[in-house]
Amino acid sequence: MTLSPDAKRFHDVAGRLSLPSQAFIDGRFQAAHSGRTFETLNPATGNVIGLVAKAEAADVDLAVTAARRSFRDGSWSRCAPEHRKSVLLRLAQLVRDHAEELAVLESIDSGKTITDCLAEIGEHVPTFFQWYGELADKSFGKVAPTGEDALALILKEPVGVVGLVLPWNFPLLMAAWKLAPALACGCSTVVKPAEQTPLSALRLAELAMEAGLPAGVLNVVPGFGETAGQAIGRHRDIDVVSFTGSTEVGALFLRYASESNLKPVGLEMGGKSPLVVLDDAEIDDHLISNAVSAACWNGGQNCSANMRQIVHAKQKEAFLQKVVEGVTALKVGDPLDPETQMGAMVTHEHMERVASYVDKGRREGARVAYANDGKHGQGFFLNPTVFDGVTPDMAIAREEIFGPVLGVIEAADNAEALDIALDTPYGLHASVFTRDMDKAMHFARRLPCGTVSINCFSEGDVKTPFGGYKQSGSLARDNGVEAMDQYVQTKTVWFHLKPTG
């Protein structure tokens, strides 16, 4: 393989990385209690890149004990909020300083493109630590109205020890989405990264110590869902779980909670989000590049991806032609090449699962408008597919595929487009394209989903809450000031005051 100079530079960084391999508990790296390890692969090559401690229930126990001790000693939970702010700001800067190393680590562990990893880790992850760090000393309680014989304080207190269970599609970004507000609130944490992508969260824990976080406040237990994940879900000394992943596993966390200590569970789950092109939308380059990103960004491994592209009949042919051109131009291949726009699927199994949906779409009678058998090396690469003639009852229109399979559904008019968009058990995100702000607002109000983006494909940013309606989420939200609600308890303190004359 001939590498461009930029790609070679990132391959060289990859060659020099020393990979974390142990769990991070109570401020230090340690082997799993059982001594077991598991392999983590580079999806772009299919090769094992390292062995990682396989944390199980005993390790989760150790992590929870350390987290509880740190929560009780107050070194983080009761320190001055200005101190929490300064540590989180230092962590933001350390992530920036190590962005290239972390981005390469993320890319080789996940198959994500280096360009996306640099954006996520160089910009977004530090922004989260900085923004919530800044909030740490600007979050006030309340005083309730009373007569003069009383003073009623409404306090927000850190909830305690929180379990954070993460997916593999944005490994470090999802860690930051949850850790930044949890730490800003004063909680102690036990993080379980996805088994496919354990490395970046482990390195982050080390940087957090360097930033001044006390030992025990951030523990990382790499391991499998059925063991480490379930042990977190069922732990009686974990006060809250915040989970991002599939709807199926989210449901398990509700069961774990009901069968253990009834801990509240914040859920961010799957989606089958619509992108709706109304009769008056302009089918220009902006719309098309958003439609292509909506389906293919991160290889379609994105919970808010718009895979159901519902297009008004009079716009359909122009849209289809241009969206196929856009998808055709996508550069799939070596994730460490900055020119690459789509890297590898996270695992061989996931690649096969996505490919099986392409077969299913063909069998269901959808027409393949774009497909490509081109190969990109030994790894788990999959080219995008565009289907035309998708109908709302097809599995490819109903089930979350989590890969680059864009389905175009024709709607006779705007009202039918709305009906089709609504016909899903999910409610995470929708994109609507129109030149008419009245129509845009009509759709935004009617669509039961946590985020509606108008004339773009967007999840919002650190300032805007993100989460799902229906089977895409619980009432919990990541991001925005609202994320803090997951990690605080509300306490009333009622003083009786004696009249003093």
Q: Is 428 among the residues that bind ligand NAP (CB under 6 A)?
A: yes
Based on CB atoms, which residue is closest to ligand NAP, 334 or 400? Answer: 400
Q: Smaller CB distance to Mg ion: residue 42 or 306?
A: 42
Say which DSSP state 227 is in: I
Q: For residue 409, is it left (φ>0), alpha (ψ between -120 and 50) or beta? A: beta
Q: Could you tell me which stretch among 36-44, 87-95, 105-113, 222-230 binds ligand NAP (CB under 6 A)?
A: 222-230
Q: Which is nearer to ligand NAP, 181 or 270 (CB)?
A: 270
Task: Tell me, residue by residue from 386 to 425, as one string, x for binding to ligand NAP by CB under 6 A and - for no binding.
Answer: --------------x-x-----------------------
Question: Binding residue for ligand NAP (CB under 6 A) from 166, 180, 204, 292?
Answer: 166
> For the range 318-323, what are the long-range contacts, defined as Cβ-Cβ under 8 Å and sequence gap of 24 or more?
318/283, 319/277, 319/283, 319/288, 319/291, 319/408, 320/369, 320/386, 320/388, 320/408, 322/283, 322/288, 323/288, 323/291, 323/292, 323/386, 323/406, 323/408
The SS3 assignment for 347 reads coil
Instruction: Read off the tokens for 478.
Output: 């990541």
- Near Mg ion by CB under 5 A: residue from 109, 120, 334, 410: 109
- For the bound state, the minimum distance from the C-beta of residue 178 to ligand NAP, rounded and expressed in Å, comes to 10
Residue 199 CA to chain centroid, in angstroms?
16
Q: Hey, CA dihedral for 346, 265, 61, 86, is it positive or negative? A: positive
40 part of the interface to Mg ion, by CB under 5 A:
yes
Choose the contact partner of 268 out of Mg ion, ligand NAP, none; CB within 5 to 8 A by kind: ligand NAP
CB of 177 to ligand NAP, least distance (A): 8
Marked catalytic residue, from 303, 400, 410, 449: 303
Q: Find out whether 72 and 187 touch, Cβ atoms under 8 Å.
A: no
Selected from 85, 112, 192, 439, the binder of ligand NAP by CB under 6 A is: 192
Query: Per DSSP, what are the bridge partners of residue 495?
Result: 151
Of 107 and 414, CB closest to ligand NAP = 107
Phi, psi of 97 (to 5 degrees): -65, -30
SS (H, E, C) 99-130: HHHHHHHHHHHHCCCHHHHHHHHHHHHHHHHH
Residue with Cβ nearer ligand NAP (52 or 324): 52
Q: Does 299 bind ligand NAP (CB under 6 A)?
A: no
Judged by DSSP in three states, 479 sits in coil
Binds ligand NAP (CB under 6 A): choice among 194, 294, 390, 417: 194
- Across the chain, how many H-helices and E-strands are there? 16, 21
447 is a contact residue toward ligand NAP (CB under 6 A): no
Residue 59 found at the interface with ligand NAP (CB under 6 A): no
Q: What is the DSSP letter of 296?
A: H
Stretch that binds ligand NAP, among 16-24, 141-149, 229-237, 383-391 (CB under 6 A): 229-237
Size of the site for Mg ion (CB under 5 A): 4
Distance CA 186, CA 85 (A): 10
| Three-class DSSP category at 333 | coil
What DSSP string describes 33-60? TT--EEEEEETTTTEEEEEEE-B-HHHH
Active site residue 456: no
Cα gap 215→488, rounded to integer Å: 21
Contact with ligand NAP (CB under 6 A) among 111, 181, 186, 233: 233
- Catalytic residue of the set 120, 206, 268, 400: 268
- Tell whether residue 252 is a contact of ligand NAP (CB under 6 A): yes
Q: Contact between 40 and ligand NAP (CB under 6 A)?
A: no
Main-chain dihedrals φ then ψ at residue 294, nearest 5 degrees: -60, -30
Residue 303 or 406 with smaller CB distance to ligand NAP: 303
- 268 is known as an active-site residue: yes
Give the interface size with ligand NAP as a residue count (CB under 6 A): 30
Task: Tokens 């030149």: give the residue.
Answer: 435
**Partner from Mg ion, ligand NAP, none binding residue 230, C-beta < 5-8 Å depending on class:** ligand NAP
Binders of ligand NAP among residues 460 to 479 (CB under 6 A) are 468, 472
The set of catalytic residues is 268, 303
Residues of this chain that interact with ligand NAP (CB under 6 A) are 165-169, 192, 194-196, 224-226, 229-230, 233, 244-246, 249, 252, 268-271, 303, 400, 402, 428, 468, 472
Residues of this chain that interact with Mg ion (CB under 5 A) are 40-41, 109, 196
